[in-house]
């Protein structure tokens, strides 16, 4: 059986990665979305083991020390990382796996999985990004400021990625992601 493909989706917080992924997974249930571990507190409606594994800093540090994470990074005061075992198992079984991670982690994946397809999602502009974070209504003023500050540096790194897609019109952005993933992966049907 052919090994699955690793796909990295990166972009500033609030750009619409989660929204796009939800739609992509509805259309392609054969894709597996990795569930990250984080030390951040759950937002209203977020479920442990579904949106993230919400862990203490001590547990996260033990995961790092034990080599349990494929990559990890600090973001806006919290740790985030990709549990290794589930990803490696799905890839081995021929399933394609999506990692929704920030830039520092994406760079680590580029080192360890050079064949991973790396897609960067851009906002139409920074004002629209801020509006989307605010409209989402789930982050404190401090968290919003930290995310916007980090967004500028992340957008500067967009050229490091294989592909840049602007999430202006949601349907158009979704189609572009779908085309890129299908082109890179003969196991996945487009349409
Ligand atoms: P991320 O996962 O990148 O942090 P979300 O998926 O939570 O971003 O999206 C942030 C907000 O932006 C949500 O309220 C979402 O409904 C909205 N959004 C996503 N894509 C678009 C789009 N193309 N146009 C307008 N609003 C969008
Ligand atoms: P949020 O707190 O908005 O859910 O996520 C903050 C940032 O962390 C986002 O850019 C998201 O892509 C990133 N992120 C989520 N999980 C991981 C992970 O496992 N590793 C890394 N490096 N970043 C992650």
Mean pLDDT of the chain: 93
pTM over 0.85: yes
pLDDT tens digits along 34-53? 999 999 999 889 999 999 99
Ligand 1 pocket, 18 CB below 6 A? yes
Tens of pLDDT along 158-177? 999 999 999 999 999 999 99
Q: Could you read off the pLDDT of 63-113 as tens digits, one per residue?
A: 999 999 999 999 989 999 999 999 999 999 999 999 999 999 999 999 999
Indicate the length of the chain as a whole number. 191
Whole-number Cα distances in Å, 30 to 12, 97, 114, 121: 26, 9, 23, 22
Give 164 Cα–ligand 1 centroid separation in angstroms: 17
In angstroms, what is the span from residue 110 Cα to ligand 1's centroid? 26
Phi-psi bin for 9: left (phi > 0), alpha (psi -120 to 50), beta? beta
Note whether residue 190 is domain-resident: no
Considering the domain boundaries, does residue 28 fall inside one?
Answer: yes
Domain total of the chain: 1
- Is residue 127 in some structural domain? yes
Q: Structural domain of residue 76, as residue ranges?
A: 6-184
Answer yes or no: is 191 within a domain: no
Instruction: Tell me, using a 6 A CB cutoff, whether residue 16 lines ligand 1.
Output: yes
Closest ligand 1 atom to residue 12 Cα is: 3
Q: Which two tokens stand for residue 73?
A: 């990074």
> From the CA of 168, which ligand is nearest?
1
The CATH number of residue 148's host domain is: 3.40.50.300
Pocket test for ligand 1, best of 10, 19, 133 (most atoms within 8 A of CB): 19
Residue 38 in domain: yes
**What atom in ligand 1 is closest to the CA of residue 173?**
23
Q: Ligand 1 mean position to 2 CA, how many Å?
A: 34
The strands making up 69-75's β-sheet, listed across from edge to edge, are 53-54, 37-38, 78-83, 69-75
Q: Nearest residue CA, atom 5 of ligand 1?
A: 16
Please list the residues that pair with 122 across neighbouring strands.
166
Q: What is the pLDDT of residue 188?
A: 62
Within a domain: 189: no
- Which of 102, 121, 148, 155 has the most ligand 2 atoms within 8 A of CB, as the residue to mutate? 102
1, part of any domain: no
Residue 125 located in a structural domain:
yes
């Amino acid at each position: 059986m052919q090994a699955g493909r690793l796909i990295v989706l990166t972009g500033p917080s609030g750009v619409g990665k989660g929204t796009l992924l939800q739609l992509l997974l509805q259309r392609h249930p054969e894709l597996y979305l990795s569930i990250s571990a984080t030390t951040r507190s759950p937002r209203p409606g977020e479920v442990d083991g579904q949106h993230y594994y919400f862990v203490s800093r001590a547990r996260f540090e033990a995961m790092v020390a034990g080599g349990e994470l494929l990559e990890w990074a600090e973001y806006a005061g919290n740790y985030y990382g990709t549990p290794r075992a589930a990803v490696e198992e799905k890839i081995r079984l021929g399933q394609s796996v999506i990692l929704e991670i920030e830039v520092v982690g994406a760079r680590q994946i580029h080192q360890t999985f050079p064949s991973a397809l790396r897609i960067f999602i851009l906002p139409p502009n920074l004002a629209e990004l801020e509006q989307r974070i605010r409209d989402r209504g789930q982050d404190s003023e401090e968290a919003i400021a930290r995310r916007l500050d980090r967004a500028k540096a992340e957008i500067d790194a967009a050229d490091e990625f294989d592909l840049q897609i602007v999430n202006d019109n949601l349907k158009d952005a979704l189609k572009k992601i779908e085309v890129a993933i299908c082109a890179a992966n003969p196991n996945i049907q487009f349409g």
